[in-house]
Amino acid sequence: MNDITPIHDGATPMPPASFGRAVHNQRRAGLLALGLVVAAVWISIPLGEWRIGLFLAGGFVLGLLNHVLTEYAMQKAIASGNPITRQAYASSSLWRLAVISIIAFGVGAIYWPDGAAVMFGLAIFHMIALMLTAIPLLREVRKG
């Protein structure tokens, strides 16, 4: 039970992994990020805190990047046809999150204190994306 086997009917060939397809599949997350970026900048400029708004928007963009890279990693795993181990999946996720976090912490440290908004933007995006993912799953569980 250490393998995660992709579900596929075998009748249709698996398309190769594509970053463009990953972006297309995550269009809801893209629209969420776009709305959050516009809101952050729109609200922060009249308050005279445009730098915080831009750094917050940067965190939302990093969150979207993580979301799309997760989709791309799953496409690659499914397209390979080989079952991926839980350890390999966890390792891939850990490296991806580490790189995104290092970028966020780096920007936050270089542009302190306004740059700290990048980390908040990243956290806010992940919380909202998690809720948007969990709601349909909870509805399915409720039906069944």
* Tens-place pLDDT, residues 88-141: 888 888 999 999 999 999 999 999 999 999 999 999 999 988 888 888 888 888
Q: How many CB atoms lie within 10 A of CB 121?
A: 27
- Spatial distance between the Cα atoms of 59 and 44, rounded to a whole number of angstroms: 15
Alpha helices in 12-83 (DSSP H): 19-25, 27-44, 50-80
Which of the four pLDDT bands, split at 50, 70 and 90, describes residue 73? confident
| β partners of residue 4 | 84
- Spatial distance between the Cα atoms of 32 and 41, rounded to a whole number of angstroms: 14
**Residue 107: C-alpha distances to residues 58, 65, 113, 133 (Å):** 10, 16, 10, 28
Q: What is the pLDDT of residue 28?
A: 84
What's the pLDDT tens digit per position in 16-71?
778 788 888 888 888 889 999 999 999 988 888 889 999 999 999 999 999 898 88
